[in-house]
């Protein structure tokens, strides 16, 4: 693989010195960009974009043409694995993803097979290869997957949920069935991420969007244990380089010490966890990613800049920080506000990375 022209994102994940704090945004390729909305309208539907390597590449690159981002992230969806398992994924306007064949019983789980990422998910490695070629070593490419717990919530609930009553019923009344499902999903994610790594991504991220709805004990047993299995199962070296792994549990700030013990390289944190407290608790064990409230991008430019400065000051001097939003960028945020955010991180972070002069 060619040497990256801008590798500060990877260097920060390795806690190596950087000239400024790297920044990218979750969902940076998406609906807040008018060029994405235009492409999506022409494509017809969301999955048509995901399943076309050329369109997925175009959408991945769109934000990099606008902003000085330090990483690109594969344009895809966390529900590609359940879709490949035959659950009949479809999207309802205003309601989000739904499954025609949700998981309801042990027999449903037993009927699931671990998908071959080079067959039923072949469009993802194909998209990665196309993106890597078009990126031309400008910045790293991030691959990703949903966590087993988060994927299971959609598969059992059959759609997005606020109460998570169906999967929690399974968790408390039939935990053996849920463990079987989570184990199959962990094996699927390992294969899927290894295929992404082989295709050329430079790092991977696991999105545990719904881990924060669990109690501590349940989080350990039904979410974190399976993310650790994935961390242990994926290829950490490829193309002559280390492949960093970032784990992100939304509303998981109370479990940072546990997450840091999994062997991951970085932990994503949301805006409910203060950056200085997070850094104190994990020390130099892992890098940290985050954590500005995405809604801050509705604010005027000067307020966005002040919030960037506040978070940089919270983290303090030295490397090991990848600046990001605490979750995905909202679809109705003005695109130029995202530009203010990215530029502010670069402008104000330089002073935190100057090597002090020894007297």
Q: Give helix 123-135 / helix 53-66 axis angle, nearest 10°.
A: 40
The single residue of 8, 9, 11, 77 carrying the catalytic annotation is 77
Give the residue from 190, 189, 178 showing the smallest Cα distance to 108: 178
Q: How far is CA 46 from CA 15, 51, 158, 185, 232, in A?
A: 36, 9, 18, 23, 32
Given the residues 14, 31, 66, 281, the one annotated as active site? 31
Question: Judging by beta carbons within 10 Å of its beta carbon (0-12, 13-18, 19+), is residue 335 exposed, middle or buried?
Answer: middle
45 among known catalytic residues: no
d(CA 141, CA 318): 24
Asked if the peptide bond before residue 291 counts as cis, ω within 30 degrees of 0, the response is yes
Q: Which residue has the tokens 């997957």?
A: 145
User: CB atoms < 10 A from the CB of 253, how many?
Assistant: 22
Catalytic residue among 40, 208, 219, 348: 40
Q: Catalytic site residue 15?
A: no
| Contact status, residue 270 vs residue 253, Cβ threshold 8 Å | yes
Instruction: Indicate which residue of 32, 154, 219, 315 is catalytic.
Output: 154
Query: Is 154 designated active site?
Result: yes
DSSP state of 330: P
Instruction: Measure the CA–CA gap between 262 and 152, rounded to whole angstroms.
Output: 21
What's the CA dihedral at 351, 16, 320, 67 to 10 degrees? 70
Residue positions forming the annotated binding site for substrate: 27-31, 77, 154, 209, 327
How far is 255 from 246, CA to CA, in rounded Å?
A: 15
- Asked whether 123 and 93 are in contact (CB, 8 A), the reply is no
Q: How many whole angstroms separate alpha carbon 85 and alpha carbon 17? A: 42
Annotated binding residues, written as ranges, equal 27-31, 77, 154, 209, 327
Q: What Rg value do the Cα atoms of the chain yield, rounded? A: 20
135, 65 in Cβ contact below 8 A?
no
Q: Which stretches does DSSP call E strand in 209-314?
A: 237-238, 241-242, 245-249, 266-268, 287-292
Q: Active site includes 77?
A: yes
Give the residue numbers marked as catalytic: 27, 31, 40, 77, 154
């Amino acid at each position: 693989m060619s040497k990256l022209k801008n590798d500060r994102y990877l260097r920060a994940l390795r806690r190596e010195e950087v000239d400024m704090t790297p920044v990218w945004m979750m969902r940076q390729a998406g609906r807040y960009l008018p060029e994405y909305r235009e492409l999506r309208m022409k494509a017809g539907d969301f999955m048509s974009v995901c399943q076309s390597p050329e369109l997925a590449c175009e959408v991945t690159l769109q934000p990099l043409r606008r902003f000085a981002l330090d990483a690109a992230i594969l344009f895809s969806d966390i529900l590609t694995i359940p879709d490949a398992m035959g659950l009949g994924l479809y999207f309802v306007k205003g309601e989000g993803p739904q499954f025609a064949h949700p998981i309801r019983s042990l027999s449903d789980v037993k009927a699931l097979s671990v998908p071959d990422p080079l067959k039923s998910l072949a469009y993802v490695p194909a998209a990665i290869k196309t993106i890597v070629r078009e990126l031309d070593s400008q910045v790293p490419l991030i691959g990703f997957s949903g966590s087993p717990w988060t994927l299971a919530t959609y598969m059992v609930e059959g759609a997005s949920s606020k109460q998570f009553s169906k999967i929690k019923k399974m968790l408390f009344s039939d935990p053996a069935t849920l463990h079987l499902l989570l184990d199959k999903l962990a094996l699927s994610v390992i294969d899927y991420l290894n295929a992404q790594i082989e295709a050329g991504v430079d790092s991977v991220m696991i999105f545990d969007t719904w881990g924060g709805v669990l109690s501590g004990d349940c989080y350990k047993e039904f979410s974190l244990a399976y993310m650790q299995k994935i961390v242990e199962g994926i290829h950490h070296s490829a193309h002559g380089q280390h492949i960093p792994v970032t784990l992100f549990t939304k509303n998981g700030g109370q479990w940072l010490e546990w997450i840091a013990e999994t062997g991951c390289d970085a932990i994503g944190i949301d805006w409910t966890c203060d950056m200085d407290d997070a850094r104190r608790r994990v020390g130099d064990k892992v890098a940290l990613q985050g954590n500005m409230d995405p809604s801050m991008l509705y604010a005027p430019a000067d307020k966005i800049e002040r919030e960037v400065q506040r978070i940089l000051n919270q983290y303090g001097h030295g490397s090991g920080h990848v600046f990001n939003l605490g979750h995905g960028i909202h679809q109705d945020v003005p695109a130029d506000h995202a530009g203010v955010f990215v530029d502010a991180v670069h402008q104000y972070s330089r002073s935190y990375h100057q090597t002090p002069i020894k007297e």
